[in-house]
Amino acid sequence: MRLIDETGAVVADDPPLPAPEVLLEGYRGLVFARRLNDQAGALVRQGRLAVYPSSHGQEACQVAAAAVLAETDWLFPTYRDVAAIAARGVDPLDVLVMLGGDWHCGYDPVATRVAPQATPLATQLPHAVGVGHAARLKGEDTVVMALCGDGATSEGDFHEALNFAAVFASPVVFLVQNNKYAISVPLARQSAAESLAAKGVGYGVPAVRVDGNDLAALIVVLTEAVARARRGEGPTLVEADTYRIQAHTNADDPSRYRTEAEVDEWRPRDPLLRMRAHLVATGVLTPEREAELAAAAEEMAAHVRAGMGRESAPDPAELFAHVYSTPTPQLREQAALLAAELNEVQA
């Protein structure tokens, strides 16, 4: 489904577009997400982040995923969904803790209702089903938004999660960001299916294919999927057709597996440029508002730079603190050993 084309023109009016203020807020999210990607890329080059998987080009999926959720809903992100977590309201500095190497997760998943970023593919999807199933048993109307990429659709856990969610009518929205590559492996080698959405048929899960660079269409589709889940009608599979413009991470060399011409084909379909064109044409985005957004995004980037610029020194004692709710005798011995070693070094 597509509502707004690459020039910003409205190409469909059924279902109707989201309200202008919703789109403007979404655009703000895109500007912040793009700025965060750029800033994180710079931090990788400065050695402040160990790694960063860019979501440049697919920000609309992530912004929409966060935008359609209520405060009590849950988001299950992957490692590439930093922008989605930040759009959910988590301080980007806390999101970047994992990629910065201080700890494996820098925010409180329960307080933020954002699961830790998953690095193995698809393993978070059964967790999402469990959170949703528990919510139903407890009589809550919580919905879970579970993100994954095209590569994850080949994993067993993707299939088990869809099947479980369908059988239990779990309130889960599965959003597949089909960005065409799993590191270097193209979609054609990932799946022989007509589309990734087609996989929903086998599980009895309604599926929708949406232009993943069209923020308006994404918001409409995901809003309905969330509403459906909240009504107790079960999961929806959404395939967002998008493209990863940049390398998988800083360690990747995309010239080995795709042509620059292919990337160039996707550049004009940029979700940010498209929404900007639409909002400017409809008079919603004035130069003043645009300047305000840019300034706010710069402020966020400066906050990230300042935070990541500080030398951090995680406490070695923390190695043993969280393995169990109470350290075992063996861990207490090992903690004492490390403390003694550190004291010796200091002395």
Question: Which residues form the interface with other proteins (CB under 8 A)?
Answer: 74, 103-105, 108-111, 115-116, 120, 123, 125-135, 137-138, 142, 156-157, 160-161, 163-164, 167, 318, 321-325, 328-330
Strands 185-186 and 181-182: antiparallel
- CA distance linking residue 212 with residue 222, whole number of Å: 11
Nearer to other proteins, 128 or 272 (CB): 128
- C-alpha 114/C-alpha 133 separation (Å) is 16
CB of 53 to other proteins, least distance (A): 18
Toward other proteins, which CB reaches closer, 134 or 295? Answer: 134
When the beta carbons of 299 and 333 are compared against other proteins, the nearer one is 333
- Whole-number minimum distance, CB 238 to other proteins, in Å? 20
Identify which of residues 49 and 131 has a Cβ nearer to other proteins in the complex: 131
Q: Are 282 and 3 in contact (CB under 8 A)?
A: no
Rounded to a whole number of angstroms, the minimum distance from the CB of residue 134 to other proteins is: 4
3-class SS at 195?
Answer: coil
Active site residue 244: yes
Q: Which is nearer to other proteins, 131 or 217 (CB)?
A: 131
* Catalytic residue (choose from 56, 209, 248, 278): 248
- Residue 120 token pair: 């193995």
Task: Tell the smallest beta-carbon distance from residue 327 to other proteins (Å).
Answer: 9
List 56, 244, 269, 278, catalytic entry: 244
Q: DSSP of 42-83, one letter per residue?
A: HHHHTTSSS-----TT-HHHHHHHHHT--TTSEEE-BTT-HH
Q: Going by C-beta distance under 8 Å and a sequence separation of 6 or more, which residues neighbour residue 183?
A: 151, 248, 252
CB 179 within 8 A of CB 244: yes
CB within 8 Å of 95: residues ≥ 6 apart = 82, 85, 86, 106, 107, 117
Closest CA to 129 of 88, 102, 163, 176: 163
Six token digits for residue 183: 């590191």
Taking each helix axis as running N to C, give the angle between helix 271-281 and helix 20-45, from 0 to 180 degrees, rounded to the nearest 10: 140
- Does the annotation mark 79 as catalytic? no
For the bound state, the minimum distance from the C-beta of residue 252 to other proteins, rounded and expressed in Å, comes to 23
Q: How far is the CB of 117 from other proteins (least distance, A)?
A: 9
> Looking at beta carbons only, is 89 or 156 nearer to other proteins?
156
Query: 189 catalytic, yes or no?
Result: no
**CA 18 – CA 165 distance, rounded (Å):** 28
Q: Which of 104, 189, 231, 257 is catalytic?
A: 257
List, by residue number, the catalytic residues: 244, 248, 257
